[in-house]
Amino acid sequence: MKNNTLFAIVSAVTGLIFGFGLLVSGMANPAKVIGFLDLSVPWDPSLMFVMGGAIAIGLPGFLVAKRLKHSLLGMPMNLPTGTEIDRKLLLGAVMFGAGWGIGGFCPGPAVVAAASGMTDGLVFAASMLVGMFAFSARGQQ
């Protein structure tokens, strides 16, 4: 089996597991997310445990990955190297947070919701794609 085929299979399986985890945890449910982010209603802290669990699982992997030049499948490691906190980063974080708070979705759960046929997820994912293409087109001028 070619390395690219194995990479595609592993990526697909990993994506399915991630998507299933988002569904089970409630991260693809905007009402649950807004219940966590909106402190003016009865607060739902359950997503804090989901995020904490994700960090606890992901952090050791990233610490190991930082030291590798190639993945276990032989693909080059392309981890971000920037450490500067600048205006662009802060503005992007504010925009991300505002979109998450208003829509109740961030990119991963939006794709899961769209794939499951949720109208809100479809609208959010379509809007996200328009924004990505607009940003990409701006950079090519």
10 Å CB burial of residue 121 (0-12, 13-18, 19+) is buried
What does pTM read for this prediction? 0.71
Residue labelled with tokens 């974080």:
93
**Residue 27 pLDDT grade (very low, low, confident, very high; cuts 50, 70, 90):** confident
Domain extent listing, the chain: 3-139
Tell me phi and psi for residue 83, to 5 degrees.
-125, 0
- How far is it, in rounded angstroms, from Cα 19 to Cα 125? 15
Digit-coded pLDDT (tens) for 39-87:
888 888 888 898 899 899 999 988 998 888 888 878 888 888 888 999 9
Residue labelled with tokens 């190297």:
81
Digit-coded pLDDT (tens) for 103-127:
888 888 899 889 889 898 899 999 9
Is residue 2 pLDDT above 70, yes or no?
A: no
- How far is it, in rounded angstroms, from Cα 109 to Cα 128? 12
